[in-house]
A and B are shown apart, each in its own frame.
Chain A
Amino acid sequence: MADITAGNGREGTVPLVKVRDLKMYFPIHAGLFRSHVGDVKAVDGVSFDIMPGETLGLVGESGCGKSTVGRAVLRLYDVTGGTIEIDGFEIAHVDRDSLRPKRPMMQMIFQDPQASLNPRMTVASIIGEPLDEHMKLSGEERLARIYELMDWVGLNREFAKRYPHEFSGGQRQRIGIARALALNPKFIVCDEPIAALDVSIQAQVVNLLEELQDRLDLTYLFISHDLSMVRHIADRVAVMYLGRIVEVASREKLFAEPLHPYTQALLSAVPEPDPESERHRKPIVLQGDVPSPANPPKGCNFSTRCPKVMDICKQQEPGVFDFGGGRQVACHLYAESMTKTAEPTGGDTGN
């Protein structure tokens, strides 16, 4: 598949994160000798840019590879192929020792605040651990920094000596956020940071993430299956399906006028808290299930469920069509109209 390079939205700035043709395959071993019989192609050729200070939303259903992208981008996996550049440093294929000094600038906030905090460590030692690893601080400086971080995320300083189980889900997520901020990162991958929280607490955490972004000039990759929350927090949105990005656009355009049939189905499936409009909403109900990433269909990955499927979709991978203004769609539907216009749209539709 050709590159979908999200990030033409802001010409002139250098992207902070630049991912090209990222591939992450997990080998399948079977048989008596555990021989390599195939691969789960969790991420299969994903490219995107994230500008400094921007939030890129990455949406898709479970199993589409969005979390794998998040982890691979931070080199929590050894990637199968492609390049990842963060702040000018290529990190996809460097050894651990040269990667280690780069770790502070890129951090992660995990989905499950219960599982990602060590139950035997106090809040202060959890938040302080990255400081011990990467900075040389005196005891006083260290404590001052911990208190500062706790203030930033809205945790009472008196709780520093407490253990994770003494906190509610939302507060635990605040501890996770404080830990991620400890080393002044530039780039944070938020992997479903609110999925485990209650609705009333979700809004608190999302507002906190937005506040911190403004204050500390952070860049986020916000991974979520919650389209309404992504619409709220993201500047641009990339939609993934079975290991690939099918559409990238600014938030406004993606939600106002989705172009890829999968994006259209995904958005139409979200129910709205309004009985009147729900009565008139006609969701595009997709048939069947997502195919296995170990055995993706020939041609377009979405061809098995696509309501607008054509013959060509089952044979050929779709190219990527640039609609200008940073919007790109990988779908055969647009092949004709785009070849007619012949020359690439130069971003004149950008806002």
Chain B
Amino acid sequence: MPDTAMPILDVKGLKTVFRTRGGEVHAVNSVDFHLRPGELLGVVGESGSGKSVTMMSLLRLLPSPPAEMRNGTVMFDGQDLLKASPAALRAVRGSKIGFIFQDPMTSLNPVYTVGFQLAEPLRAHMGMSKSQARQRAVELLKLVGIPDAERRLGDYPHQFSGGMRQRVMIAIALACDPKVLIADEPTTALDVTIQAQIIELVKELRQKLGMAIIWITHDLGVIAGIADRVMVMYAGEVVEEGPVDEIFRNPQHPYTRALLKTVPAVRGPREERLQVIEGQPPIMHHAPAACSFRNRCEFAFDRCAREHPELQAIDAPGHRAACFLLDQALTQTPEAVDG
């Protein structure tokens, strides 16, 4: 993908706060990112790091209250989605931007047939007639590799296996030819052999349809295989982003490095003892005024508690990280930071 292409989705300063009885929780803290046409952006982070909330905020899918979008702009198709009218937003949701959720069982409606659920966006967004929608639904099921598509339109979600249900979810998300597909942990609930099927399917569909994809996951292996660019999130902030090879070869943020080391491999040399990241991710009751990772970071020093690190560029194009070590690294050799 050429780096110069205009982003199809441009997010700036996104800030989402949940107002709970236990006080405010700052789930997304000034997140900036962009997505170029045809690109696959991988979003990595642990639970609670704000990856899902960020993506839900884009389409204002979070119930408010308790969620509150405090700040930011989400430019898509020449309009700011955060300021768009409900009608304009509805025209985008499920149509120009498709969404695939983690659990295919809970995101499909159990009392409607799969055919009905596939036809719903087609009739709502594309104004298709019943028979047109049915025809398109059959095409879509074939596209995602569901055998015997015509007959299966009349089946209910419980009659499909987990992998097949996720294929149905993908078919629904693709129904209106979206420009952007947001996939929130689409393979986490699936077995590895089924995951492999779905990943192959997504790779194939990308080539065929050319949409841009945001793929949220905590599985670094999956990301390594499919992403063009990776964004690492921690405590509601982007701590590092860059091209996939850069992130895995040359990770700069201590959190990214630690995350890469905690995962044992199935191939290659075996570690005697797993590396751990001690402690727990913080619960953000306030907007971060310092580095949120400092309490778990082995390289933390006094400045990390005083100031808030901003994303800054590193040598490789498009690679940025938010860490004060980078300032030091400029004056020292990179090995010294490697510890």
A interface residues, Cβ below 8 angstroms from B: 61-62, 168, 170, 198-204, 206-207, 210, 225, 227-229, 231-232, 251, 255, 265-278, 281, 283, 285-286, 289-290
Across-interface contacts of A273 in B (CB, < 8 A): 220-221, 223-224, 248, 260, 263, 265
Question: Chain A's nearest CB lies how many Å from the CB of B47?
Answer: 5
Known: A168-B280, A283-B196, A283-B200. A275 touches B225 (CB 8 A): yes
Among the listed stretches B104-112, B120-128, B268-276, which one makes contact with chain A, having 4 or more residues with CB under 8 Å of it? B268-276
Closest chain B residue, CB of each to CB of A225:
B191
B93 on the A face (CB < 8 A): no
Cβ-defined partner of A62 (8 Å) among B191, B259, B278: B191
Task: State in angstroms the CA–CA spacing of A63 and B66 once bound together.
Answer: 38
B225→A204 contact, CB < 8 A: no
Question: Once the chains are docked, how many angstroms separate the CA of A224 from the CA of B272?
Answer: 19
Nearest CB of A to B245, in Å:
5
Docked complex Cα distance between A227 and B200 (Å): 20
Nearest chain B residue, comparing its CB with the CB of A270: B266
Central interface residue in B193, B219, B270, by most chain A CB within 10 Å: B193
B258 touches A270 (CB 8 A): no
Report yes or no: A270 in contact with B221, Cβ–Cβ below 8 A.
Answer: yes
- The answer on a CB contact under 8 Å between A231 and B266 is yes
Q: Which chain B residues border A277 with CB–CB below 8 Å?
A: 267
- Pull 21 A–B residue pairs with CB atoms less than 8 Å apart, ordered by A: A61-B193, A62-B162, A198-B218, A198-B281, A199-B218, A200-B259, A204-B276, A207-B273, A227-B266, A232-B271, A251-B270, A266-B193, A267-B266, A268-B196, A269-B193, A269-B196, A270-B192, A270-B266, A271-B224, A273-B263, A285-B193
| Assembled-state Cα–Cα distance A1/B89 (Å) | 59
Shortest Cβ gap from A224 to chain B (Å): 11
CA distance A170 to B279 in the complex (A): 10
Residue of B nearest to A62 (CB): B191
CB-contact partner of A203 in B220, B262, B270, under 8 A: B262
Cβ contact of B222, chosen from A265, A266, A268, A271, cutoff 8 A: A271
**Minimum CB–CB distance for B120 against chain A, Å:** 26
Chain A: CB-nearest residue to B161? A289
B266 contacts A255, C-beta separation under 8 Å: yes
Q: A234 to B262: give the CA distance in the assembly, Å.
A: 17
Among residues of A, the one whose C-beta sits closest to the C-beta of B164 is A289
Instruction: State whether A272 touches B271 (Cβ < 8 A).
Output: no
Which residues of A sit under 8 angstroms from B267, Cβ to Cβ? 255, 272, 277
> Bound state CA distance, A199 and B280, in angstroms?
11
Main SS at interface, chain A: helix
Question: Within the assembled complex, what's the spacing in Å between the Cα atoms of A170 and B260?
Answer: 19
A272 touches B221 (CB 8 A): yes
- Give the residue of B47, B194, B264 whose beta carbon is less than 8 angstroms from that of A231: B264
Q: Which B positions have Cβ atoms within 8 angstroms of A?
A: 46-47, 161-164, 191-197, 199-200, 218-225, 227, 244-245, 248-249, 258-260, 262-267, 270-271, 273-278, 280-281
B contact residues around A225 at 8 Å (CB): 191-192
Taking A204-B276, A276-B245, A289-B164 as contacts, is the C-beta distance between A281 and B225 under 8 angstroms? yes
A200 contacts B264, C-beta separation under 8 Å: no
- Indicate if the CB atoms of B196 and A61 lie closer than 8 Å: no
Most buried by B among A199, A228, A277: A199
Q: Is the CB of A232 within 8 A of B192?
A: no
Report the minimal beta-carbon distance from B53 to chain A, rounded to whole angstroms.
16
In Å, the complex CA distance between A210 and B271 comes to 13
Q: Given A231-B264, A275-B227, A283-B200, 4 more contacts at CB 8 Å?
A: A200-B281, A207-B276, A210-B273, A286-B193
User: Please, which residues of chain B bring their CB within 8 A of the CB of A202?
Assistant: 262
- Closest residue of A by beta carbon distance from B296: A200
Contacts of A206 in B (CB 8 A): 274
CB-nearest residue of chain B relative to A227?
A: B266
Residue of B nearest to A252 (CB): B270
Closest to B162 in A: A62
Q: How far is the CA of A225 from the CA of B195 in the complex (A)?
A: 13
Tell me the smallest distance from the CB of B142 to a CB of chain A, in Å: 16
Alpha-carbon gap, A269 to B163, bound state (A) = 14
Cβ-closest 7 pairs across A and B: A271-B221, A61-B191, A273-B220, A269-B196, A278-B225, A200-B277, A203-B274
Q: Which residues from chain A contact B280 at a C-beta distance below 8 Å?
A: 168, 170, 201
Q: How far is the CA of A204 from the CA of B275 in the complex (A)?
A: 8
Q: Of all chain A residues, which has the CB nearest B147?
A: A288
B264 to chain A, nearest CB (A): 4
Given known contacts A198-B46, A267-B266, is B192 in contact with A227 (CB within 8 Å)? yes
Closest beta carbon of chain A to B114's beta carbon, Å:
16
The answer for the CA separation of A277 and B265 in the assembled complex, in Å, is 12
Give the residues in chain A near B221, CB-CB below 8 Å. Answer: 270-273, 278
| Cα A252 to Cα B263 with chains together (Å) | 18
Quick one: closest A residue to B197, CB to CB?
A285
Instruction: Tell me, in angstroms, the Cα distance from A203 to B219 when the chains sit together.
Output: 14
B223 surroundings in chain A (CB, below 8 A):
273
Distance from B39 Cβ to chain A, minimum over Cβ atoms (Å): 15
Contact B248 A285 (CB under 8 A): no
Looking across the interface, which residue of chain B has its beta carbon closest to that of A286?
B193
The answer on a CB contact under 8 Å between A200 and B266 is: no
Contact between B275 and A265, CB atoms less than 8 A apart: no
Q: Are the C-beta atoms of A275 and B244 separated by less than 8 Å? A: yes
Q: Which residue of the partner chain, among A228, A275, A286, A289, contacts B263 with CB atoms under 8 Å?
A: A228
Across-interface contacts of A272 in B (CB, < 8 A): 221, 224-225, 265-267
Q: How distant is the Cα of A269 from the Cα of B187 in the complex, in angstroms?
A: 13
Is the CB–CB distance between B193 and A232 below 8 Å? no
B contact residues around A286 at 8 Å (CB):
193, 196-197
